[in-house]
Amino acid sequence: MITLKDLANTLGVSVSTVSKALKDSPEISQDTIKRVKEIAKELNYRPNTLALSLKNRQTKTLGVIIPDILNPFFANTLYGIEQQANKLGYNIITCISNESFTKENDSINLLSNGSVDGFILSISQETQAKDDLNHLKDLLRQDVPIVMFDRTSQSIECDKVVIDDFMSTFNAVNMFIEEGRKKIILINTLGDLSVAKLRVLGYKTALEKSSNTNQEPIIINVDNAKDVRGYIKNMCEVHPDVDGVLCIDNKSGLVAVSALNRLNYNIPKDVSIVGFSSEEFSYLSDPVLSTVTQHGEEIGAVAVDMLVDRLTGNKKKPVSTTTVDFTIDHRGTTLKKS
């Protein structure tokens, strides 16, 4: 670590001269500026971020708390966050709550002492179940800005980035109905997550409102994502006439395709399948999975924009919620190709 002092010593001038010279201050002669810059380059001087942060009272670092890094949606979001943060001159400290309230809580407490300028987070499953959000309220009380994405809470007054979860399934079901599907089943592995509730509601509402069907909702709740295959097999015994499957998480759609293939359903002739995934994973199935795509990368980028805007711009402007458009991407498991 080479410091201003080191440069000053080797040049025989004072620390402040060096500091000013490096900033092209008009107070310093061109000659000195040149000498200073030369030696700085030679010794590969880099200003110490720590000292700068202390002085400027900002770390140029964002805290990011993700519930589950193996979930492709969150991985995508993290990628978007990292990219955009870098672009705007910020680093990110990443914590993985692993769906645990305690870990989430600890991580926030650990970082909320000036280590980061603000937080981007999606709350853990456990936190949403307990509905204990005091750690977030404390942050706001300390004027640490937060941007929540995907899994948010109405009781926290902060900027948010979401997709329209209700409309995502509402539209997907309507698409099924347009295809002429009569028995559309929803598979939920997300329990009582806020987004799951909205997606389930979108499904139910679409069925209710449609005049082309009077199907009752059929919702299969699966605790452990690894059991999806078994549940689908059972479902096909009870409802052999299933002709639409809607999976509201990131992996089950793929399982559904392979399970229904195995049961000799012709996809998409006999049955349409839609999952919630991103392009990078949909091609793992045959036919390639059609999905509601959440565009996590963009969600992450928008979250960073909102946070940085609050950090640098008008801090007191009212909080807002940005809705990033989802898309319904027709690939091989639906009839309607776009």
| Residue window 132-151: x/- pattern of binding to a copy of itself, with contact defined by CB under 8 A | ----------x---------
Q: Is 100 in the site for a copy of itself (CB under 8 A)?
A: no
User: Rounded distance, CA 155 to CA 132, Å?
Assistant: 10
Binding segment for a copy of itself (CB under 8 A), chosen from 6-14, 48-56, 128-136, 215-223, is 48-56
User: Rounded distance, CA 294 to CA 313, Å?
Assistant: 28
Residue 287 vs residues 7, 195, 255: alpha-carbon distances, Å: 64, 27, 12
- Residue ranges that bind DNA, judged by CB under 7 A: 1, 3-5, 12-17, 19-20, 22-23, 25-32, 45-48, 50-52, 54-55, 57
Q: How far is the CB of 197 from a copy of itself (least distance, A)?
A: 25
Q: Is 234 in the site for a copy of itself (CB under 8 A)?
A: no
Binding-site size for a copy of itself (CB under 8 A) equals 53
The one of DNA, a copy of itself, none whose footprint includes residue 59, by CB under 5 to 8 A per kind, is a copy of itself
Q: Is 285 in the site for a copy of itself (CB under 8 A)?
A: yes
Residue 188 vs residues 59, 65, 72, 321, 325: alpha-carbon distances, Å: 41, 24, 17, 26, 22
Burial of 15 (0-12, 13-18, 19+ CB in 10 A): middle
Question: Tokens 């490096």 belong to which residue?
Answer: 22
Query: Tokens for 21?
Result: 């010279």
142 φ, ψ to 5°? Answer: -85, 10
Looking at the Cβ atoms of 26 and 318, the one nearer to DNA is: 26
The one of a copy of itself, DNA, none whose footprint includes residue 219, by CB under 5 to 8 A per kind, is none
Q: Is 48 in the site for a copy of itself (CB under 8 A)?
A: yes
6, 15, 32, 98: residue in contact with a copy of itself (rule CB under 8 A): 98
* Region label for 153, one of left (φ > 0), alpha (ψ between -120 and 50) or beta (otherwise): beta
The one of a copy of itself, DNA, none whose footprint includes residue 319, by CB under 5 to 8 A per kind, is none
The one of DNA, a copy of itself, none whose footprint includes residue 28, by CB under 5 to 8 A per kind, is DNA
CB atoms within 10 A of CB 279: 15
Binding segment for a copy of itself (CB under 8 A), chosen from 73-81, 155-163, 166-174, 319-327, is 73-81
Q: Is 112 in the site for a copy of itself (CB under 8 A)?
A: yes
Residue 30 vs residues 6, 9, 47, 202: alpha-carbon distances, Å: 21, 19, 21, 68
Q: How far is the CB of 108 from DNA (least distance, A)?
A: 18
33, 82, 265, 301: residue in contact with a copy of itself (rule CB under 8 A): 82
10, 14, 91, 234: residue in contact with a copy of itself (rule CB under 8 A): 91
The one of a copy of itself, DNA, none whose footprint includes residue 258, by CB under 5 to 8 A per kind, is a copy of itself
Q: Burial letters for 290-321: b for 16+ Cβ neighbours within 10 Å, e otherwise?
A: bbbbbbbbbbbbbbbbbbbbbbeeeeeeeeee
CB atoms within 10 A of CB 163: 25
**DSSP code of residue 289:** P
Residues contributing to the site for a copy of itself (CB under 8 A): 1, 46-51, 53-54, 57, 59, 61, 69-70, 72, 75-76, 78-79, 82-83, 86, 91-96, 98, 106-107, 110-115, 142, 226, 229, 251, 254-255, 257-259, 261-262, 280, 283-286
